[in-house]
Structure 1
Amino acid sequence: MSAKAVTCLVIVALVLALSIPAWAGVVNVTASPDRIDVGLNFSGQKVSISGIAPPDSDIYVKLVSPTINVKLNKKGKFGFLWMNVSHAIVHNIPGMYLVYSSAPLEQLSPALQRRMGIDSDFQAVRDKAIIKETAGNHTRTLTGLQGKDYLDALFNMYEKSGLYRVKENAIQREGRQFHLTVTLPGSATQGKTAIIAYAVKNGQIVGTSRSTLDICPVGMVRWERTTAQTKGLLYGTYAVLIALAAGLIINFLFHFLEKRFAVLMSRLSGKLPAERREVSTEIH
């Protein structure tokens, strides 16, 4: 091939490359702030999530916290009494799972929902959860419909507390830009929460981006978490001592207030003199 032909091919390739829009397939997502300090008084915080995506694409964003193990009890009725009949530990479940979109989720095909882990019933979480139930002296692993009651109850509790959420049409679009505000509850799971954004157009994912929101314990919260994980015996000892101290303080306050209340009632009723008086006698 001659040098002239090679030059022509290079020019054609450059023209074609420059003719492709610069935004094609580009998705970016960031959080502000990207770090949240959790202390004793933490009651929740709003986080701004924004980014860019191809115009005319639908945006789907999910926030997934680290997985945790959750203990649950199932109650049953014996006569007129409700009692715990079994216990279960749900393994490998995110402590927080939030989904936001700029379009209805029903526009996503079932296959695409599974691929993205985005649906209204948190099926992606259900599929990965491991449930071990103990009833009496027997322990078994529940699968499929066997563990549905436990997961339904758990998701219901998490949705009420704001840890699990699906909000459609919550993402604002303006050209290439998108934006949403996420309200994290006070019980937000600590650790590095993944923020994953998908751009979908004509039933296909045209771009994706990932960032991290670091929810960090500080102060006493950090000490408690670190000690519980690395020094279980020390943590248990401190917990017992704190419980004993709290009990003694409450007992002291109760008796103190009880005595003050008794004195006040006695004065009001006039059964006792308001102050102690000494009586002197003389012998003649």
Structure 2
Amino acid sequence: MSHPSTPFPTGSTPMETENGAGRDTLGSGGPMVQPMVPGELECTALVDVEFGQRRPVVDSIGNVLGVPRKILLWDRRADNHSVSGRTVGEVADYLVANGVSDVKVRVNQYAPREEWRRLVRNHRVAPGWKYTVGVLKHLEYTLFPGRIWGGDEYNPYTNSVYLYSDIPALGIAESAYAKDIHSRTYPGTYATGQLLPILGVHHESLATEDAMWYVQTHGSSDSLQATRRLLYARYGMEAGGNLGGMFSVQGNQLGGVGQVIGAAGGHIAAGIQNQR
């Protein structure tokens, strides 16, 4: 059964209640009520957020499968499938502050039918891109659900951010890509180009810079040093995987090796920067 989504007031933390009616076997559920936290800055702007139902077995599996990413980012909150209201609130604040509050935020949720509808209704992306690359992206979302496999991501074809990690910096970086997409005259062409080797590094650079600037300006629940370490490691991991995927040894692509090297380089660069 489908439920209407609930707007998320920025600067707030959701009350963790559970909706009994799930959308699917992987445990996506209806949205939860979002009360304001006393003492927090109130904002009239709203962001559309939906939360997946709690499924302990599924989320435990996802948490285990997220171990490689936890190690690369050196943070146990990565792909932990237990996203706090604090993290969601910071992501919502970023979206509103940057004028992209039309983005849908799905928090540890699997909703292929709803995402298909968003794909069809997304008039920012030209039909030629929506019904080719966008359909393939939706097929990936359906067959390899982030609810299990993790991987915080912005999908430009549905204009949705998927959160599976309780790390504000990762959600803000993905939202920065949404901001980048919204600024383009031809968002579908730009987004598709970013899927190609080398070109894909471009938007990661922009997203990392923008997220870092935002946290330096507005602050975060994580320290600036921790945020820099996470963002640099994330950038190195994404860039390394992108470039490494272009090469292979004995038929084996080196994307995974590139991710390890890139993440390590990101940690080193952040460490040097943090000591200045």
TM category, shorter: under 0.3
Output the TM-score relative to the length of structure 2. 0.22
Q: Which has the higher helix share?
A: 2
Q: Which has the higher strand share?
A: 1
- The higher-RCO structure (CA 8 Å, 6+ apart) is 1
